[in-house]
Chains A and B, each alone.
Chain A
């Protein structure tokens, strides 16, 4: 029987660092970045044979801060602290974990909110389009910088799972094990539609200013908040929302106003928080990278042919109540891997957690991850 998962420690206080790459970096869109920075956090210790490195790939709104805290007073630890730490499934007593903010991000890696050396101003909407391919290439540069020839594990959820899969396909010699969580081989029209609604919310904000908002010290906060509210809604399940909010109501901060539903309050809070921490141009860029991703675009849509270069041992996990990337999407990946005779394990975790379940500490999920990762040979 699964038992609650709460007995593990934290990686403690962590400090990000910036890796600078001075060589020109060609992007899939044809543009060339003269140089770029990646902001990185690592947890655990690289062993002497450099064989215990785990690459964590983040999802749409993630960043390098996956575990631990930057300061003791931080309200929350990193976004994947449930899974990464000493004694946790991604065990930092055993693994050396590398987590970065992707190129085009807004948390310290080169992206729309950093300075374009050609103009001396922030890139803003002129930052070139990046793809999953570009991210993996920049992560490859990071691996070389860290002198890691082969990742023990490349792991990611959602858009992060797509990067993990891309690694396994295009750099099979560099990936020993690959964990793909709540992912899909490509987006559906419905997925793209949700991204378009989010983008439209941002670009129709009067403070959007064609993406040049930062020049005028503005933020398209209403658009960003709305984008996040819609996005967040699709990451939860109906059952999960009923459990969490039901039809409960609460007072607003403004006296005299009528009560609002808990779920309204929650979505408003999520939206507002997001609009203060996330860059609108990055949001557009990340959602486009998602829309254009197709692991099988180089084999004309033949998924098992696309996955045939893989040599890694794979774990694919889906979540029963995830309707953004439903279990059926993970099954597409799994069935193609079976057709291609790959070493794959698959489980669909029963949960109300929706798409976000890959971030949560569901006991079945955590126990499976721990068991599977324990069998990774270093």
Chain B
């Protein structure tokens, strides 16, 4: 069963496009994209076991730390650059965003929405850092070092002259009324399609 943000990204990827997936893990998503959308796929990943798993699926992967730059990728060399649920682990998320819209004609970013009411409840009422199914880590031992909310992300895009082409703030497979009324409060996962302005 695929994570819901990935199903949505799939809908946004045109057929036969060139896709770069930053932090592609074991290549499962790219493999599915390849089957469903006939894309030309490339992944970036740090973990050698993930790279081997991706190779076993026939997915090409470059071992590279995106926090140390992506300047080896030429301008507008991919149709879509994907960063799925990894924004919050980056040391310099804004730099990576800038690179994504430089390298890709479009970019798709998903991240856990820290403005979700459960997070607010944890922090606001309980006074504790949120721990949930999607974010199952204690504050002192987590790869997630840069949390943001939907509103924070929109503000950053504005500052960086990044255009938001599409956005979907979701909690599960079905859109709910609460979601559409107050996405930053009721959406747990944010999915943005962006490009350079």
Contacts and interface: CB of A to CB of B under 8 A. Distances in A.
Interface of A: 1-2, 313, 315, 331, 334-335, 338-339, 341, 343-350, 364, 367-368, 371-372, 374-375
Nearest to B56: A371
Contact of A345 (B49, B62, B74): B62
A345 B60 contact: yes
B60 A344 contact: yes
Interface string B25-48: 000000000000000101000001
B197 interface: no
A240 B82 CA distance: 39
Contacts of B73: 338
6 contacts: A338-B72, A338-B77, A339-B72, A345-B55, A346-B61, A347-B48
B52 A344 contact: no
Nearest to A348: B63
Contact of B74 (A339, A343, A344, A367): A339
B53 interface: yes
A371 B53 contact: yes
A315 B62 CA distance: 10
Main secondary structure of the interface of A (DSSP, over half): mixed
B56 A345 contact: no
A345 B61 contact: yes
Contact of A374 (B53, B56, B74): B56
A371 B73 CA distance: 25
Interface string B50-89: 0111011110111110000000111001000000000000
A163 B91 CA distance: 40
A185 B49 CA distance: 27
Contacts of B53: 371
B96 to A, nearest CB: 17
A334 B44 CA distance: 13
Given A1-B49, A364-B48, A371 B55 contact: yes
B62 A349 contact: no
B62 A368 contact: no
B106 to A, nearest CB: 18
Given A347-B63, A371-B52, A375-B57, 16 more contacts: A1-B49, A315-B55, A334-B62, A335-B72, A338-B73, A341-B77, A344-B60, A345-B55, A346-B61, A346-B62, A347-B61, A348-B63, A368-B48, A368-B55, A372-B55, A374-B56
Contacts of A344: 60, 62
B48 A338 contact: no
A347 B51 contact: yes
Nearest to A316: B62
Contacts of B60: 313, 343-345
Nearest to A349: B48
A313 B61 CA distance: 12
Contacts of B52: 364, 367-368, 371
Nearest to B18: A341
B55 A375 contact: yes
A171 B148 CA distance: 51
B98 to A, nearest CB: 18
A364 B48 CA distance: 7
Contacts of A347: 48, 51, 61, 63
Contact of A338 (B49, B56, B62, B63): B62
A334 B42 CA distance: 13
Contact of B51 (A313, A345, A374, A375): A345
Nearest to A335: B72
Contacts of A315: 55
A358 to B, nearest CB: 15
Contacts of B18: 341
Contacts of B42: 343
Contacts of A350: 48
B77 to A, nearest CB: 7
A313 B42 CA distance: 12
Contacts of B40: 343
5 tightest A-B CB contacts, nearest first: A371-B55, A371-B56, A335-B72, A375-B58, A372-B55
A357 to B, nearest CB: 14
A164 B51 CA distance: 22
B51 to A, nearest CB: 5
Nearest to B41: A343
Nearest to B51: A347
A364 B72 CA distance: 25
Given A341-B77, A374-B56, A346 B63 contact: yes
The listed residue with most B CB atoms (<10 A of its CB), out of A331, A343, A368, is A368
B41 to A, nearest CB: 10
A329 to B, nearest CB: 14
Contacts of B57: 375
A367 B53 CA distance: 9
B102 to A, nearest CB: 14
B49 A2 contact: yes
Nearest to A373: B55
